[in-house]
Amino acid sequence: MRVRDAVEADATDMASLANQPTDVMRNLVHDRTVRVADNPENASVEQDQSADEQPDLCGVVSYDAGEDTVHVTQLAGDQDAVGRLLEEPVRFANVEGMAVEVLIEVDDATRQSVVEDAGFEREGSGPFFSGKQTVRYRHAAES
C-alpha cells in the first residue's frame, strides 16, 4: 500500500470512499491536509501512469490542525488503509506536540476497533452528524 498526498484528480475516488459529493472532496484537497492510500492490486508503476490512469484508492484521511489538537475530518476506506492512514495525523501531531481527535459513528464497531488499535482512547460522546451519534477518540501527544 502506497500512501501519498491527495490531488484534485483523486476527488471522485475519495467521494466514493467517503460517501460525499465529489465537489466537497475536491475542495477538501485544497483546504486540508489529505493523504490517500493506493489500492496495491490496481496500482501500476507511477512513471507508467497517465493522468487518466490514476490507481484506485483504498483509503483517505484528511486533517486540520487547531491550536493544540489535530482534528481528523475525513476517514474512510478499508480497515488496513484506515489503520495505516491514521499514522499520518498522529505523526504530524507528535512532531508538533499536539493530540489527535477523531469522531466515529457510534454504530461503526469496525472503525472503532481500528481507531483503538491505532492507540486512540475513547473520550466519550461526540456530536451528531447527519442524525447519527458519534464517539470521540483522542490520541495523546507523545512527550
For 136, the grid coordinates are 470521540
Beta-carbon contacts of residue 129 (< 8 Å; ≥ 6 apart): 103, 105
Domain of 51 in residue numbering reads as 3-139
Domain of 50, CATH number, reads 3.40.630.30
Q: What is the pLDDT of residues 98-111, one digit of tens each?
A: 999 999 999 999 99
For residue 141, what pLDDT band results from cuts at 50, 70 and 90? confident
Would the pTM of this model clear 0.75, i.e. be above it? yes
Domain count, the chain: 1
Q: What is the pLDDT of residues 40-93, one digit of tens each?
A: 565 554 444 444 555 589 999 999 999 999 999 999 999 999 999 999 999 999
Question: Between vectors from CA 111 to CA 107 and to CA 117, what angle results, nearest 5°?
Answer: 130
> What 8-state DSSP symbol labels residue 57?
E
